[in-house]
Homo-oligomer: A and B are copies of this chain.
Amino acid sequence: MGKYKVTFLPDQKKAEVEEGVTLLEAAEEAGAYINSLCGGQGLCGECRLQVLSGNANADKHAIGFFSKEEVQDGYVQACQTRVEDNLEVLIPVKSRLEMEKIVTGGAPVTYSEPGKLSLRKIPHDPASLFEPLVSKIYLELPEPTLGDNISDIDRVTRELRKRLTYPSFEISLGCLQKLADKLRQHEWKVTATVARHNSIGRVLQLEEGDTAERNYGLAVDVGISTVVVQLVHLKTGKVVGVEANHNLQARYGEDVISRMVFACSRGSLAPLHKTVVTNINTLTRALAKEKGIDTKDINCIVAAGNTTMSHFLLGLMPCSIRLEPYVPTATVYPQIVAKEIGIHINPHGIIEVMPSVASYVGGDIVVGVLACGLADKPEITCLIDEGTNGEIVVGNNEWIVCCSASAGPAFEGGGTKWGMRATKGSIEKIEIKDGRVTYETIGKAKPRGICGSGLIDSIYELAKNKIIGQDGKFNLSVNDKRIVTEDNGPQYILAFPEETETGQAVTITETDIGNLIKSKGALFAAVKSLVDYVGLSFEQLDAIYLAGGFGSSLDISKAIAIGLLPDIDTQKIQFIGNSSIMGARMALLLGPAFETAIDISKKMTNIELSNYLPFMNEFVAALFLPHTDSKLFPSVHY
């Protein structure tokens, strides 16, 4: 690997870095301060730089952040651009601010390696795909004459037809009722707000004068634990801001099942519907305030969530989702006026909820498939979206199968004594060597608990050091002061009371380990069943993408070693972070993306594992470290 020189203008700060280092990292090395709200996650679009010389191109998702002109002018995101040439780069004034951390409530809102993501079906220039769900078109209409006295609405659509490709247009009665006066009072100069609905252009609103700049949309990830909202300027396609909060539905149950039980036992989903709407309204208001825009200028929303969350959001009863034979009310949702469900944006603004596949394969996974480009290429890809519920997809551009795995919340910190989300103070990395424990915490704070990656590390390290057996049980013959036995059985002390924030020891219990083994067993068994189902072996997978709950600190080798992930070349396995919000944003901005998502949802064959005998066998076989069939993990040796 070569080294390259990068010069940052205007201050001529220089760094010599390894090939593949990001421009953001290079800037840090050069001592040039670049704003990056999201901490280099490719999410906020704040770290924009202009490449003046040398070869460094915007990635395909730049369309989320830059106009076509800016892409041509060499604008890139520092955090998403790897150095592969000597470069001269300008830091624009707006990007030269102090760093600050975005408050996302611990939401794992990240995506990386966008170079690996694609929409290969369609041309390479992302700007050419730019076709927002809602367009605002400023019209200066010719005044009617006797020789040209078509109706007012025909005059509007005649002009719209020149600017938009919809074969036909529809208009609401309310809009039509105001049309004649509006056109005449404002000298035939109006801005039309047009939403795409199937292939029809729906004229939502007509405003006086040129308001085309004032056109925003929201990409919303409605997660079980967190709700994330990205504010996007639809005219330019730029991400203006992002906010996240904890899903208020948590008060009715941590997981979807308990929330469904809550709603269905009362016969009312109103509380669950209202809380998630409040989540979105709160974030929207905060973003609008922060960015100085009017919420009335937000004209559309694309939301992605699992099937149950989508039902809650739209006020659809999810009760039959929960019980065999697991039937949702709908998997493709109507485009509706957001106001209809109490969301406060433009009162004419619309919301599209991304299509689901089945009760336990939701729109979040559909847009995940969209975002990772699985359906675009002939190579076979596996996408594992791990959250409170796990979803697995295997497929390529010809076929897609998927399933859901109730892996439980163990990897998100639930169901274990000291488990916690990947926030400040959680142990995210652990090593045990010769009886000594070393760990890293998020924010380098005193330990408060263990997050998913820490738990995976722990199990691996305990097994490797023979402190637990491959069945997950403590080897009580080991003499270690860290092994203590309490009422609930043996446990291992990862951090002594004097090291921790709370003054209590952070431990992992045998029960925790048992739960984690069940979780990893369920996930692995699901992947194995799906790959078997299509007659493939793990070796035939071209890539495994990990999305959602897996923290970026996950040690892939250790995840393989405990039997969570298949034992394939670790180079083939990569994080893609929050593919859900990325996919929702693509659907918001790119013409073909929305239709592609619908196609994907229709193409996906869902395998119901709960009733699939091979899965049960695989699950039982996977309740071992790494697996009862050691031939499946040739590289793993304890």
Q: Which residues of A line the B interface, CB within 8 A? A: 144-146, 148-155, 170-173, 176-177, 179-181, 184, 314-317, 319-320, 324-331, 333-334, 336, 340-341, 358-359, 608, 611
Contact = CB atoms under 8 A, between A and B. Distances in A.
A151 B334 contact: no
B153 A329 contact: yes
Those 3 A-B pairs whose CB atoms lie nearest each other, nearest first? A149-B325, A146-B325, A180-B317
Contacts of A328: 151-152
Quickly give the copy total for this chain. Answer: 2
25 contacts: A146-B324, A146-B325, A146-B326, A146-B608, A149-B325, A149-B358, A149-B608, A151-B329, A151-B331, A152-B327, A152-B328, A152-B329, A152-B330, A153-B330, A154-B331, A155-B327, A171-B330, A171-B334, A173-B334, A173-B341, A176-B333, A179-B329, A179-B330, A180-B320, A181-B317
Contacts of A144: 320, 325, 327
Given A325-B149, A328-B152, A315 B177 contact: yes
A316 B180 contact: yes
A176 B324 contact: no
Nearest to A145: B325
A151 B181 contact: no
Given A146-B608, A149-B359, A152-B328, A173 B317 contact: no
A145 B327 CA distance: 9
Contact of A334 (B152, B172, B325, B327): B172
Given A146-B324, A152-B329, 13 more contacts: A146-B326, A149-B327, A152-B330, A171-B334, A173-B314, A173-B315, A176-B329, A176-B330, A176-B333, A176-B334, A180-B319, A180-B320, A180-B329
Contacts of A151: 327-331
Contacts of A148: 325
Contacts of A331: 150-151, 154
A173 B343 CA distance: 15
A359 B150 CA distance: 9
A363 to B, nearest CB: 13
* Central interface residue in A317, A325, A327, by most chain B CB within 10 Å: A327
Contacts of A150: 327, 331
**By CB atoms of chain B within 10 A, which of A150, A170, A319, A329 has the most?**
A329
A63 B305 CA distance: 50
Contacts of A315: 173, 177
Contacts of A152: 320, 327-330
A179 B334 CA distance: 14
